[in-house]
Amino acid sequence: MRLYEFQAKRIFAEHGVPTPAGTLVTSPSQVAGLPLPCMLKAQVPVGGRGKAGGVRAVHTAEQATQALADLLQMRIRGHRVRAVLAEEVAEVRREMYLAVLLDSRANAPLVMACAAGGVEIEEFARANPEQVLKLAVDPLLGLQGYQLRHLAKFLKLQDVAGLGEVVRRLYGILLSLDASLVEVNPLAETPAGLVALDGKMVLDDRARFRHEKLFAALAEEQAPLHAGDRSEAERLAREYGLTYVELDGDIAMIADGAGTGMLTLDLIRDEGGRPANFCEMGGQANAEYARRAMEVVLANPRARAVLITLIGGLTRMDEIAAGIAAYVEAHGLAVPVAIRMCGTQEAAGKAILKAIGLDTYDDMTAAVRAAVAMAKV
């Protein structure tokens, strides 16, 4: 579950991470209760608000009224703005980037930091890898003092204790709430100390059973804010219980596990392609999961090719192939498909796919290159 900024910041505050005082508003008529001057920030579950004009500084009630009216009519990357977070203005000396996340490759926590705040971290890291620090955290030992001192030195911060406290609290949120990402972008240095000016959190849906009340409360808050914004693919994925995140590319992706999926996303980008989604079926998927996954990713009209990557430890390849075949037999294929298949019952799976005219690849990179080429035709 991806949280809105106001939800993430509330959790931050509950765990002792400093944030600006803020109020959520849904109408220009609520301007009378706002602290002025203030920052008005459109609440949407995607990034890029600043570039889209979704963040405004206002100093008077008249400015706030007009800005709220404008913001509440906006769409940002397809999402209608239905709420705005009004926050007190912080005295910012400088901004940094800080995040605690799960490293899918190492299957362990990772701290990421950058001395430049408010940047698109993925693009920035590709262009300036030496300016992004990544600290692997041993899950048994936790954060160590030397790591926090190294982090403070990298960020050129004198307040080692203050930074350490913020990082430890963010790390605690990651562990206690089963989050996959806890991000502050930017983290501001102010006269009063470090303050989280923005907040992003993603909770692991597979851990919902451990946090039923929290998930239910967050979902209830989100429902009126994104009503009508879900695409058909997102609606189907929710109905079918599939892990699906829509992206802005044209290569639909299905993987048989989260790790394989994250690797596939990286490989698509490395080969010059743009993924249309992230979709993983889970390590013990069956034919029905595969059929549903095909239906979901192909409900996205931007999909120009489908890439299916299967490693197949616990998953049987003949089951997955049967599900793909069931979809093709029922709906046909409007776009080309590249499939990398290996693992349990691999030969049987490949035979099923060959019978419906689909070839498979043994090498993942070759399959990715084929999918990227298919999408460009």
Q: What share of the chain is helix, strand, coil (3-state, %, to 5)?
A: 40, 25, 35
Same domain, 174 and 291: no
pLDDT of residue 306: 98
Q: How far apart are CA 96 and CA 117, in angstroms?
A: 4
Residue ending a domain, choose from 88, 113, 140? 88
The CATH number linked to 256 is 3.40.50.261
Catalytic residue among 5, 87, 95, 183: 183
Q: For the chain, which residues score pLDDT lower than 70?
A: 227-229, 283-284
Q: How far apart are CA 377 and CA 373, in angstroms?
A: 7
The CATH number linked to 111 is 3.30.470.20
The CATH number linked to 29 is 3.30.1490.20
Same domain, 113 and 197: yes
Same domain, 254 and 356: yes
Single-letter amino acid, residue 101: L
Q: Please state whether the predicted TM-score (pTM) of the whole model is above 0.75.
A: no
Catalytic site includes residue 295 = no
Please check whether residue 5 lies inside any domain of the structure.
Answer: no
Report the candidate in 341, 358, 13 with the shortest Cα–Cα distance to residue 169: 13
Same domain, 104 and 147: yes
- Give the domain extent around 300: 232-376
Please check whether residue 315 lies inside any domain of the structure.
Answer: yes
Single-letter amino acid, residue 176: S
Please check whether residue 114 lies inside any domain of the structure.
Answer: yes
Catalytic residue among 4, 5, 97, 327: 97
pLDDT of residue 228: 64
Please check whether residue 225 lies inside any domain of the structure.
Answer: no
pLDDT of residue 311: 86
Please check whether residue 210 lies inside any domain of the structure.
Answer: no
Give the Cα-Cα-Cα angle 125, 126, 130 (nearest 5 degrees).
Answer: 55
Same domain, 56 and 98: no
Task: Give the chain's domain count.
Answer: 3
Angle between helices 287-297 and 317-331 in degrees, nearest 10: 50
Same domain, 240 and 367: yes
Same domain, 239 and 369: yes
Distance linking the first and last C-alpha atoms of the chain: 35
Give the Cα-Cα-Cα angle 356, 359, 362 (nearest 5 degrees).
Answer: 140
Contact 288, 320 (CB under 8 A): no
Q: Which long-range contacts (CB under 8 A, 24 or more apart) does 119-128 make?
A: 119/185, 120/47, 120/48, 121/97, 121/185
pLDDT of residue 229: 67
Catalytic site includes residue 97 = yes
Please check whether residue 319 lies inside any domain of the structure.
Answer: yes
Beta bridge partners of 95: 188
Report the candidate in 232, 234, 267, 231 with the shortest Cα–Cα distance to residue 251: 267
Q: How far apart are CA 299 and CA 279, in angstroms?
A: 13
Same domain, 368 and 265: yes
Residue ending a domain, choose from 88, 115, 133? 88
Same domain, 238 and 364: yes
Starting at the earlier edge strand, list the strands of the sheet with 55-58: 22-25, 84-88, 38-42, 55-58
Per-residue b/e over 221-250, b at no fewer than 16 CB within 10 Å? bbeebbeeeebebbebbeeeebbbebbebb
Please check whether residue 145 lies inside any domain of the structure.
Answer: yes
Contact 360, 337 (CB under 8 A): no
Please check whether residue 224 lies inside any domain of the structure.
Answer: no
Residue ending a domain, choose from 50, 72, 88? 88
Same domain, 74 and 122: no
Same domain, 150 and 271: no
Same domain, 73 and 144: no
